Amino acid sequence: MEYMPFIMFAAVCAVLMLGYPVAFTLSGVALMFALLGTFTGQFDGAFLEALPNRLFGILGNQILIAVPLFVFMGVMLEKSRIAENLLNTMSGLFGNLRGGLALSVIIVGMLLAASTGIVGATVVTMGLISLPTMLKNGYNPSFACGTICATGTLGQIIPPSMALILLADVLSSSYQQAQLKMGIFSPESISVADLFMGALIPGLLLVLAYGVYVALMAHLKPELAPAAPATNNDNGNTSTWSDAMKHMVPPLLLIVVVLGSILTGVATTTEAASIGALGATLLAWWNKSLSMRQLKETLDSTLNVTSMVFLIFFGAAIFSLVFRGYGGDELVEEIFNNMPGGVFTATLVVMVVIFLLGFILDFIEITFVVVPIIAPVLLAMGLDPVWLGIMIAINLQTSFLTPPFGFALFYLRGVAPKSIATLDIYKGVMPFIVIQLAMLLLLALWPALATWLPSYIYG
């Protein structure tokens, strides 16, 4: 019975692999184990009495109110064809260069990631818009698919990212728990702005590394990413820098306003998210792509995503209570403290476990089920919360790409032409996985990549 918390966790993973919904799996399995423990005398049912307060706390959390607003912003930008217009313009500018289309995909994908913050939306959008064009211009299928998948996962790390917002909320609570355990009774906290600021340098370094890799491969192996055939301006197939600015400045300005207001402290995360939602609607209206049908589709999609997210929150809250009722948090702390190598080994084990769990769990489940279990222990061992958050975010980003279960691969497989084999997608993402693992290693060796900017700006 000592390892009942781990048995319960394994049961959740097994049921999820059978295809059952995440939210109901978390709550259903947890309640079954709670019932079993009550009958055997191993679980105190009083733990479940805290459930109403937990659920009310989720619904009243000011940070989590930003989730539906950011989702609305991303969906509105996706459906208003802003990304499509921008990609067409950038392709016209750089398409006549080797690897130009791939570089355009990276640039537009970076902006789309900062706009939507949702991996699935970015991968699907880029796959529908850019993949046919790349294949038509002679790009190697593996190279094209790998570029799109890797670019789509930037939504995990480039702020304002929904993943970072959720991580900040969980890590803030975990950090306060860790400080209380260490005898600090006036605990400090971390904010969404801290995590956003910490993610800027690693996120931009990843974009730069992707661009360097694409440019290098296009130079060394031109057959992978040939230049697009030259066209003339008379038929409207090329673009000018004024066209690029016309399509790039509005979404870029929206991102700067939303992100800048958070980082400078002018607005809270929720207030900035509302500005983003309004700004995305105004951009759609400005582009003459806003209709009642599109608005209804955007609201429906926002409602679906938000409902899914909050149901997972509720399921994770029930799971967490039962896990703690069985003494799971104390068991994890004991195992970590007894590991040879101390905090280094504990962090390494956690990163490997999160990477493997990324094959079967989405980042929301990992954030609200796994992170609250391991973060208080690691933070009590002296790790910086911002550094830990960025490491987890990049780790999850890598698991999105890793065959055979990476979610980004499934997203692209769903919209890719039948002529592209699944193996082509797997082969294409391999170099980008190496780049992201190298980024993780770099961040592990130089934590200041994540911690310097927040400490410099906020002291």
10: CB partners within 8 A, 6+ apart: none
Q: What is the pLDDT of residues 245-271, one digit of tens each?
A: 777 778 778 888 888 888 888 888 888
In this prediction, residue 75 carries a pLDDT of 80
In this prediction, residue 448 carries a pLDDT of 93
In this prediction, residue 233 carries a pLDDT of 39
Asked whether the predicted pLDDT for residue 169 surpasses 90, the reply is no
Asked whether the predicted pLDDT for residue 236 surpasses 50, the reply is no
What CA–CA distance (Å, rounded) separates 272 from 444? 31
Q: Is residue 21 part of a domain?
A: no
What CA–CA distance (Å, rounded) separates 317 from 303? 21
Asked whether the predicted pLDDT for residue 175 surpasses 60, the reply is yes
Q: What is the pLDDT of residues 375-429, one digit of tens each?
A: 888 898 888 999 999 999 999 888 888 887 777 888 788 888 888 888 888 899 9
- Take residue 52 and report the two structure tokens written for it: 């109403």
Q: What is the pLDDT of residues 14-24, one digit of tens each?
A: 887 787 887 88
The number of helices, as runs of H, and strands, as runs of E, in the chain is: 21, 0
Q: Is residue 13 part of a domain?
A: no
Number of structural domains found in the chain: 1
Asked whether the predicted pLDDT for residue 159 surpasses 70, the reply is yes
Asked whether the predicted pLDDT for residue 440 surpasses 90, the reply is yes
Q: Is residue 24 part of a domain?
A: no
Instruction: Report which residue type is found at 315.
Output: G
Identify which has the larger pLDDT, 244 or 234.
244
Contact call for residues 187 and 180 (beta carbons, < 8 A)? yes
Q: What is the pLDDT of residues 213-225, one digit of tens each?
A: 999 999 899 888 8
What CA–CA distance (Å, rounded) separates 210 from 217? 11
pTM of the model: 0.83
Q: Is residue 346 part of a domain?
A: yes
What CA–CA distance (Å, rounded) separates 253 from 279? 10
Identify which has the larger pLDDT, 314 or 235.
314
In this prediction, residue 120 carries a pLDDT of 67
Q: Is residue 417 part of a domain?
A: yes
Q: Is residue 420 part of a domain?
A: yes
In this prediction, residue 432 carries a pLDDT of 93
Q: Is residue 397 part of a domain?
A: yes
Work out the pLDDT band at 63, boundaries 50, 70, 90.
Answer: confident
Asked whether the predicted pLDDT for residue 354 surpasses 60, the reply is yes
Percent pLDDT > 90 in the chain is: 15
Asked whether the predicted pLDDT for residue 171 surpasses 80, the reply is yes
Q: Is residue 3 part of a domain?
A: no
Domain containing 304: what range?
Answer: 50-316+325-458
In this prediction, residue 237 carries a pLDDT of 47
